[in-house]
Amino acid sequence: MGGLKNIKAFVLFMAFSLLVGCSNDEEAPKHKSGFLDKLFKSSNRAVPVTVANALLRERALDLAVPAKLSPSETVEIKLPFEARIEQVFITSGDTIAVNTALVRLAEEELQLKLTQLRTELKDADNELQKNRYLHRNRDRLLEEGSINQHHYETLETQVERNEAAVEQKRSDIQSLESRLTQLTITSPTSGVITEINVASGLTIPTNTTLMKISKVDPMIVEFELAGHEATAIQSGQKITVRFAELPTELIEANVISIGAVLEQGSTFPVKAVFANPTALFKVGMQAEVKFTGVKRQRYFLVPNNAILIDQRQHYVFVVVQGAAHRTRIIPKQTQDGFTEVVEGLREDDLIIVKGHEKLEEGTTVDIWGR
């Protein structure tokens, strides 16, 4: 009899609990789904999910990407000595040939510099001869006390430094004497003047860049491709280049350099080269390159409802050994309820298409359907 009373009491308690629960649900409907979330996430029970395999497809890859033109080489014009500029013959933007006159140096300052260098050479040579004498007689001089132990040990190094200084002075004098016979500096290459740092009357310090000459024949076209497009390009491949400023011009270029893909979702640089004998195409000109990939592109079709977005990055959950794992993907275009995924998936991936709203990384799942 007592057992029957206990059972009745338990039934009444459960009924009361359900009534209270319903009342709370009506007052605060926002907590209605919280119980299920906690049930699946905080317990060891598996979350029921529906999965599907991504559909593998292939297609020819036709690409059109923006590009810009850059010089094949940039030459800096410098002087190994200080000099005053008497006259400048070119301006920025000029197209020049080899041996084009660039600037003329003032002779008077160079003559003064030459006289100074000859004096410095004489002093350096005297110092060298003195240290050579000390080095040859260092044992006797040490015994006599004319030099100390430190001086004795460093004489060989001092002689080597003196010899190097003398050779440098002689080289500078030879260079300056040669320059005095040809005061006009000419271009060592053809190209376009892209930078000038001199003007008539200015004194230019040693090794200062006077100007820069960009070699534009051949010309380089630079562009970037997405990591998943790496198989579309190869060295030596021909590409077509168009220019907004010159819509009637269509150029064929050859790929000469392909950079590395550093990480998922990143881009990599590509360089191609084409002839530009008339300098028609300018450094910095905007262009568009078009080509068909050398290999067909593989991609996956994934249901739209399987794709999650977090901080502008796209993910799906895949099932690995009974657990959900978040996998970053690179999507492309979407059509008819499916999205093309070009990076991040494998052929055997099981993608969760329903039930992922209750998932976290590593959540145990129970596959209820496909």
Neighbouring C-alpha atoms within 13 Å toward the C-beta of 91 = 0
pLDDT per residue, tens digit, the chain (370 aa), is 444 444 444 444 444 444 444 444 444 334 344 444 444 444 458 889 888 888 888 888 888 999 999 999 999 999 888 889 999 999 999 999 999 999 999 998 888 888 999 999 999 999 999 999 999 999 999 999 999 999 999 999 999 999 999 999 999 899 888 888 889 999 999 999 999 999 999 999 989 999 999 999 999 999 999 888 888 899 999 999 999 899 899 999 999 999 987 776 688 999 999 999 988 999 989 999 999 988 887 888 899 988 998 888 899 999 998 899 999 988 888 888 898 888 888 888 888 889 888 888 988 988 886 6
Contact 201, 267 (CB under 8 A): no
User: Helix (H, G, I), strand (E, B), or coil: what is residue 183?
Assistant: coil
Residue whose structure tokens are 């599907």? 52
Q: CATH for 62-70+215-294?
A: 2.40.30.170
Contact 173, 117 (CB under 8 A): yes
Q: What's the gap between Cα 129 and its chain centre?
A: 54
Alpha carbons 143 and 150: distance in angstroms, whole number? 13
Is the peptide bond prior to 331 cis by the omega test (within 30 degrees of 0)?
no
- Which amino acid, residue 136? R
CA pair distance 265, 339, nearest whole angstrom? 17
In the chain, where the domains are located? 35-59+298-369, 62-70+215-294, 110-170
Taking the C-alpha atoms of residue 292 and residue 294, their distance in angstroms, rounded to an integer, is 6
pLDDT of res. 130: 94
CA dihedral 152, 154, 156, 161 (to 10 degrees): -150
Chain centre distance of CA 187: 32
> Does the global pTM surpass 0.85?
no
Residue 124: count of CB within 10 angstroms of its CB: 20
CATH class of the domain at 35-59+298-369 = mainly beta
Give the span between the Cα atoms of 304 and 295, in whole angstroms.
Answer: 27
The residue with tokens 């030099």 is 147
Tokens linked to 93: 């933007």
**Cα–Cα distance between 52 and 355 in angstroms, integer?**
12
Q: Are strands 95-96 and 191-196 parallel, antiparallel or unpaired?
A: antiparallel
Residue 40 corresponds to which tokens in the numbers above?
Answer: 């699946």
